[in-house]
């Protein structure tokens, strides 16, 4: 069955909300009951107060019919309100849970996957696509069951009244069904295109916004606008096509329904003329017909919502089902505490197949040693640090800590063994103190401030409006390049990890600050094992040993 298939992706998140969804569906079914009774006050008024044979007190009948109408409308309104609140609340909770699962999933997927998937595209899947799925959850709950009940209820009443009219009502439904199935396929294809283009637009926009400084500095606003414009136009084109496909459905369905209603009016009218039906009963039949067509239309609209959700479900599933990850083995053990040393043994690695960055690379680092990696740009120095952190798995060879393969260690304990200062400092949109504390989950305020002092963060933090509690903005935009680097260094200083990995920690520092940071590095790395990447001779001088990567050690590119 198509219906649950596209929504199955929300299944685990929806399980906890099943009682709420069932309650909402129950309320909507009650509403159907009230809707079915709604035409009767009018029939009562027509047949017993306004017709040729009124009862003894027609005014009382009119009052009763009027009061009945008001009460029924109020009941329907209240049931509407209660069901909407219940189902929308449940849908939002499902959405929050689904987003959390997807986010958790993206955080643990391999960086190779992230290298391919743009962050804007992921945001679009987490927000818009999840939203479309929620629309479908609401539609299925409030439309599928109640519309089906309504359909059966109205048809049963029509059969009781006039079997001929019931047959006409039934004849319209399969025609609409066939049309709906064909339309559903077209809508789904159009929606898939629309969602793909929207994801691309989100990816391009995020990229351009992140690089707004480069755009302005290079005076390339026109170029940025052209890149954005191309994507934006593509989205507009596919969305307009999707709207066109969608809109064509409405008149088709309406025309089929109107033809059905017209035939019933003629045949029903003849039954009244022949005395088989009263005028009031014909009015009830016509009202039921309206009520019959509303679930038929509801069910066909539901197929449109499901077609849209189907396109989004595929995109959500792609994130949830992706198994491209650096996984812990089932019997993973805590990483050793680094008592003897680290060994890169015949390591081969490339980001892309057939393009090795490191090829049969060997390196030994003794515990307590400071080793500096030198080499031309792009040779694979940062890559060596990333492999040691197991951000990527090696293609061949092994990396050992105290003789234990990294792949046998659980990643959490492994990352706890390293304090890392990356080339790009990776600051969060948080305060200085929070950014430093990111280096050690048990960091105290005193520890953070001490680490800040040792990495010379004090020098500029004291001049900021809230000191260490000053928010840094997205990616630490409120700090200079050198200041960002010092915060990253403080992050390593606050960590108690036995090994420190430093990737160009003095880049973009003036000579005086660089000298001070080198001193700070000496203090913060004392008695620790250090792997250092730098082009700075003064910094390289603190190393016990310098290893030069060249094209023999690295892959042949």
Q: 174 with 53: CB under 8 angstroms? A: no
Choose, by CB under 6 A, the member of 382, 411, 431, 513 that binds ligand ATP. Answer: 382
550 binds ligand ATP (CB under 6 A): no
Q: Alpha-carbon distance 378 to 374, whole Å?
A: 11
- CB nearer to ligand ATP: give 4 or 378: 378
Looking at 329-417, list the stretches that DSSP marks H as alpha helix, in order from N- to C-terminal side: 381-388, 411-416
Residues in 337-356 at the binding interface with ligand ATP, rule: CB under 6 A: 351-352
Q: Minimum distance between the CB of residue 506 and ligand ATP, rounded to whole angstroms?
A: 13
Q: Which stretch binds ligand ATP (CB under 6 A): 74-82, 378-386, 476-484, 513-521?
A: 378-386
Which token pair is 298? 């509801």
Q: Considering the rule CB under 6 A, would residue 553 count as an interface residue with ligand ATP?
A: no
User: Is the CB of 387 or the CB of 489 nearer to ligand ATP?
Assistant: 387
Span interacting with ligand ATP, options 214-222, 270-278, 380-388, 441-449, rule CB under 6 A: 380-388
541 phi and psi angles, rounded to 5 deg: -65, -20
Binding residues for ligand ATP restricted to 449-478, rule: CB under 6 A: none
Stretch that binds ligand ATP, among 157-165, 266-274, 381-389, 484-492 (CB under 6 A): 381-389
303 lines the binding site for ligand ATP (CB under 6 A): no
Q: Does 327 bind ligand ATP (CB under 6 A)?
A: no
Alpha helices in 211-278 (DSSP H): 212-217, 221-273
Give 106 or 454: the residue with its C-beta nearer to ligand ATP: 106
- Describe the chain by its helix, strand, coil percentages, rounded to 5: 65, 10, 25
**To the nearest whole angstrom, how small is the minimum distance from the Cβ of residue 378 to ligand ATP?**
4
Is residue 377 part of the contact set for ligand ATP (CB under 6 A)?
yes
Nearest approach, Cβ of residue 393 and ligand ATP (Å): 14
Contact 365, 529 (CB under 8 A): yes
Sheet holding 499-503, edge to edge: 418-421, 499-503, 529-533, 370-374, 545-548
Q: Which pair of structure tokens corresponds to residue 511?
A: 């000579």
Tokens of 526: 């004392």
Q: Is 380 in the site for ligand ATP (CB under 6 A)?
A: yes
Stretch that binds ligand ATP, among 24-32, 77-85, 184-192, 370-378 (CB under 6 A): 370-378
Q: Is 378 in the site for ligand ATP (CB under 6 A)?
A: yes
3-state SS, one letter per residue, for 354-375: CECCEEEEEEEEECCCEEEEEC
Identify any residues that bridge with 401 across adjacent strands, giving them in sequence order: 342, 404
Minimum Å gap between C-beta 110 and ligand ATP is 11
Contact pattern for ligand ATP over residues 106 through 145, marking x by CB under 6 A: ---------x------------------------------
Q: Is 221 exposed, middle or buried (0-12, 13-18, 19+ CB in 10 A)?
A: exposed
DSSP 19-73: HHHHHHHHHHHHHHHHHHHTTHHHHHHIIIIISSS--S-HHHHHHHHHHHHHHHH
Min CB(363)–ligand ATP separation in Å: 14
For ligand ATP, the closer of residues 282 and 387 by Cβ is 387
How far is residue 121's CA from residue 378's CA, in Å, rounded to a whole number? Answer: 28
Tokens matching residue 416: 């706890």
Should residue 552 be labelled a site residue for ligand ATP when binding is judged by CB under 6 A? no
Least spacing, CB of residue 243 vs ligand ATP, in Å: 39
User: Which residue, 101 or 206, is less far from ligand ATP as judged by CB?
Assistant: 206
Angle CA(121)–CA(123)–CA(126) in degrees, nearest 5? 115
How many CB atoms are located within 10 Å of the residue 441 CB? 8
Q: Is residue 213 classed as helix, strand or coil in its secondary structure?
A: helix
Determine, following the binding rule CB under 6 A, whether residue 383 of this chain makes contact with ligand ATP.
yes
Per CB under 6 A, contacts with ligand ATP among 213-272 are: none
Q: Is residue 505 part of the contact set for ligand ATP (CB under 6 A)?
A: no
Q: Should residue 534 be labelled a site residue for ligand ATP when binding is judged by CB under 6 A?
A: no
Q: Is 297 in the site for ligand ATP (CB under 6 A)?
A: no
Site track for ligand ATP across 419-448, x = CB under 6 A: ----x-------------------------
Residues that bind ligand ATP (CB under 6 A): 115, 351-352, 357, 375, 377-383, 423
């Amino acid at each position: 069955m198509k219906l649950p298939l596209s929504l199955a992706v929300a299944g685990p998140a929806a399980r906890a909300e099943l009682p709420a969804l069932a309650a909402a569906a129950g309320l909507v079914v009650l509403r159907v009951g009230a809707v079915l009774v709604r035409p009767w006050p009018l029939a009562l008024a027509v047949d017993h107060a306004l017709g040729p044979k009124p009862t003894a007190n027609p005014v009382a009948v009119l009052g009763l019919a009027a009061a009945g109408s008001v009460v029924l409308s109020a009941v329907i309104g209240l049931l509407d309100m209660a069901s909407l609140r219940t189902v929308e609340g449940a849908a939002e909770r499902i959405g929050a849970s689904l987003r959390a699962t997807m986010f958790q999933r993206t955080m643990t997927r391999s960086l190779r996957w992230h290298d391919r998937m743009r962050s804007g595209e992921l945001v679009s899947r987490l927000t818009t696509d999840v939203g479309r799925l929620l629309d479908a959850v609401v539609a299925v709950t409030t439309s599928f069951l109640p519309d089906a009940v309504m359909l059966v209820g109205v048809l049963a009443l029509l059969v009781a009244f006039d079997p001929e009219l019931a047959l006409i009502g039934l004849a319209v439904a399969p025609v609409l069904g066939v049309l709906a199935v064909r339309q559903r396929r077209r809508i789904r294809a159009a929606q898939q295109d629309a969602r793909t283009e929207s994801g691309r637009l989100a990816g391009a926009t995020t990229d351009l916004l992140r690089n707004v400084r480069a755009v302005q500095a290079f005076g390339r606003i026109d170029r940025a606008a052209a890149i954005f414009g191309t994507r934006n136009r593509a989205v507009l084109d596919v969305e307009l096509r999707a709207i066109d496909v969608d809109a064509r459905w409405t008149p088709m369905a309406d025309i089929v329904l109107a033809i059905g209603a017209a035939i019933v009016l003629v045949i029903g009218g003849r039954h009244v003329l022949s005395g088989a039906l009263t005028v009031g009963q014909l009015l009830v039949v016509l009202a039921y017909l309206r009520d019959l067509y509303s679930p038929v239309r509801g069910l066909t609209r539901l197929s449109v919502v499901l077609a849209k959700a189907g396109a989004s479900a595929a995109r959500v599933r792609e994130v949830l089902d992706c198994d491209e990850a650096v996984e812990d083995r089932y019997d993973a053990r805590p990483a050793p505490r680094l008592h003897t040393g680290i060994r890169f043994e015949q390591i081969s690695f490339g980001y892309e197949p057939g393009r090795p960055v490191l090829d049969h690379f060997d390196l030994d680092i003794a515990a307590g040693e400071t080793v500096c990696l030198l080499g031309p740009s792009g040779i694979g120095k940062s890559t060596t640090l990333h492999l040691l952190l197991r951000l990527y798995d090696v293609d061949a060879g092994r990396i050992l800590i105290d003789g234990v393969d990294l792949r046998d260690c659980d990643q959490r304990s492994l990352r706890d063994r390293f304090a890392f200062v990356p080339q790009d400092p990776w600051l969060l949109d948080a305060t200085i103190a929070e950014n430093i504390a990111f280096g050690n989950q048990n960091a105290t305020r005193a520890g953070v401030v001490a680490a800040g002092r040792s990495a010379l963060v004090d020098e500029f933090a004291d001049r900021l409006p809230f000191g260490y509690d000053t928010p840094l903005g997205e990616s630490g935009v409120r700090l200079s390049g050198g200041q960002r680097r010092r915060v990253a260094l403080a992050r390593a200083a606050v960590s108690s990890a036995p090994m420190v990995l430093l990737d160009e920690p003095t880049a973009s520092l003036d000579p005086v600050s660089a000298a001070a940071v080198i001193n700070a590095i000496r203090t913060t790395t004392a008695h620790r094992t250090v792997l250092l990447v730098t082009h700075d001779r003064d910094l390289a001088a603190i190393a016990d040993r310098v290893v030069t990567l060249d094209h023999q050690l690295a892959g042949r590119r």
